[in-house]
């Protein structure tokens, strides 16, 4: 996620002021990093939840209460943090008045809380929570992996209806909510695919999965080739490409190919430090815009080549965010904000029970 967000300029665009030669390396790097899209992390989250439900079965209501506490309470806290923090960047780039005016509008806060649009990365949590409401369907796909193919239907639905919705609702407040509703509906296919992958893993041996590795790698390479074709358009024009149907399917199917690759390699002896560091991933996701914004402000107005800008922003953002999250995790009062500790109320109640 950090690598993805530094491979665009401060406005989220593909360095349109640079010449094509200067855009080439950044856009190829972005194409490589963007194979691990948000959809992959949605699938991993769902897969881990399904595994947890196998180890410790609980009712639908219990599970959703747990997930609402784990996801929505930290989400609410960071929404408030970023609502204020955004003023820092807005002041630096000269649009402070617009941000202040927006904060006075109830519709702004509704978007923050329902869509997660307080910051470009916050949409993940409400989208994930909405998908988890349908987790019984994903358990069905775990039992019947063929249902994972419904991802094709979901993506086809999104491909057909997205342009229709944008044309009909462009410029209206309803657009974001309708698009998000369609996204959740179409992304049920990712949940089904995650369940199917888990079902395949439970039903197969390591030797069988090793035999799948070659074909899956070939498919992933073909998808990446299609992504590179669209990347060439971005390099040439300095604009994102949204109307390439081959790139669409390559982008949205690549997360499934990557999860299947993980399935095929799961039996390998991976270093223990990977698991130890993974516990900080949620915090890195939540907090990295704090330091990325600071880097963008420091580089504003400077004529820095895109690839150098990427290197500087990444070299600053990743280690500083890691240190920040590690610091939060060291204290019970803040660890819960990055998913590394119990919520304060639960902690205090347990203390009273022990007393």
Which tens digits make up the pLDDT trace of 187-213? 999 999 999 999 999 999 988 998 999
Q: What's the pLDDT band for 182 if we cut at 50, 70, 90?
A: very high
Question: What pTM was computed for the model?
Answer: 0.90
Taking Cα atoms as reference points, which of 278, 127, 237 lies closest to residue 188? 127
Regarding whether 293 and 190 lie in a shared domain, the answer is no
The answer to whether 133 touches 64, Cβ cutoff 8 Å, is yes
Is 226 among the domain residues? no
Regarding whether 101 and 17 lie in a shared domain, the answer is no
- What angle is formed at CA 51 by the lines to CA 288 and CA 123, rounded to 5 degrees? 30
Provide the residue range defining the domain that includes 25. Answer: 1-34+274-345
Q: Which of 171, 188, 203 is the last residue of a domain?
A: 203
Distance of alpha carbon 324 from its chain centroid, rounded? 20
Residue 48 has pLDDT above 80, yes or no: yes
Is 259 among the domain residues? no
Residue 303 has pLDDT above 50, yes or no: yes
Name the CA dihedral angle for 245, 249, 254, 255, rounded to a multiple of 10 degrees. 120
> According to the model, what pLDDT value does residue 353 have?
42
Q: What's the pLDDT band for 120 if we cut at 50, 70, 90?
A: confident
Domain count within the chain: 2
Residue 25 has pLDDT above 90, yes or no: yes
Interval 99-104 mean pLDDT: 94
Taking Cα atoms as reference points, which of 96, 76, 94 lies closest to residue 86? 96
> According to the model, what pLDDT value does residue 1 have?
79
Distances (CA, A) of 39 to 30, 138, 159, 162: 16, 15, 15, 17
Residue 135 has pLDDT above 80, yes or no: yes
- What angle is formed at CA 176 by the lines to CA 172 and CA 179, rounded to 5 degrees? 115
Least confident of 7-16, 94-103, 284-293: 7-16
Residue 343 has pLDDT above 90, yes or no: no
Interval 289-303 mean pLDDT: 91
Per DSSP (E only), the strands in 40-140 are none
- CA–CA distance, 192 with 189 (Å, rounded to integer): 5
Distances (CA, A) of 216 to 210, 247, 253, 264: 10, 18, 12, 9
């Amino acid at each position: 996620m950090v690598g993805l967000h530094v491979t665009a300029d401060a406005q989220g665009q593909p360095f349109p002021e640079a010449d094509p030669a200067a855009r080439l390396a950044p856009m190829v790097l972005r194409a490589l990093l963007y194979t691990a899209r948000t959809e992959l992390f949605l699938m991993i989250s769902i897969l881990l939840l399904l595994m947890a439900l196998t180890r410790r079965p609980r009712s639908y209501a219990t599970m959703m209460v747990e997930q609402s506490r784990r996801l929505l309470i930290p989400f609410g806290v960071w929404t408030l943090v970023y609502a204020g923090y955004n003023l820092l960047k807005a002041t630096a780039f000269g649009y402070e008045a617009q941000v202040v005016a927006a904060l006075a509008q109830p519709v702004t806060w509704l978007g923050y809380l329902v869509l997660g649009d307080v910051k470009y990365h916050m949409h993940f949590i409400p989208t994930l929570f909405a998908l988890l409401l349908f987790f019984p369907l994903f358990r069905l796909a775990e039992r019947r992996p063929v249902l994972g193919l419904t991802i094709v239907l979901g993506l086809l639905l999104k491909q057909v209806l997205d342009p229709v919705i944008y044309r009909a609702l462009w410029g209206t407040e309803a657009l974001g909510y309708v698009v998000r509703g369609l996204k959740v509906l179409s992304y049920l296919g990712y949940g089904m695919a995650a369940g199917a992958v888990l079902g395949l893993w439970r039903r197969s041996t390591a030797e069988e999965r090793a035999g799948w590795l070659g074909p899956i790698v070939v498919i992933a390479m073909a998808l990446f080739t299609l992504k590179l074709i669209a990347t060439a358009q971005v390099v040439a024009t300095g604009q994102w490409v949204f109307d390439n149907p081959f790139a669409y399917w390559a982008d949205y199917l690549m997360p499934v190919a990557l999860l299947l690759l993980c399935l095929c390699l799961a039996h390998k002896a991976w270093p223990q430090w990977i698991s130890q560091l993974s516990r900080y991933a949620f915090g890195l996701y939540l907090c990295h815009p704090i330091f990325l914004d600071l880097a963008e402000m420091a580089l504003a107005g400077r004529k820095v080549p895109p690839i150098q800008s990427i290197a500087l922003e990444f070299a600053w953002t990743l280690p500083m965010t890691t240190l920040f999250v590690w610091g939060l995790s060291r204290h019970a009062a803040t660890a819960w904000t990055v998913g590394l500790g119990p919520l304060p109320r639960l902690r205090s109640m347990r203390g009273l029970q022990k007393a």
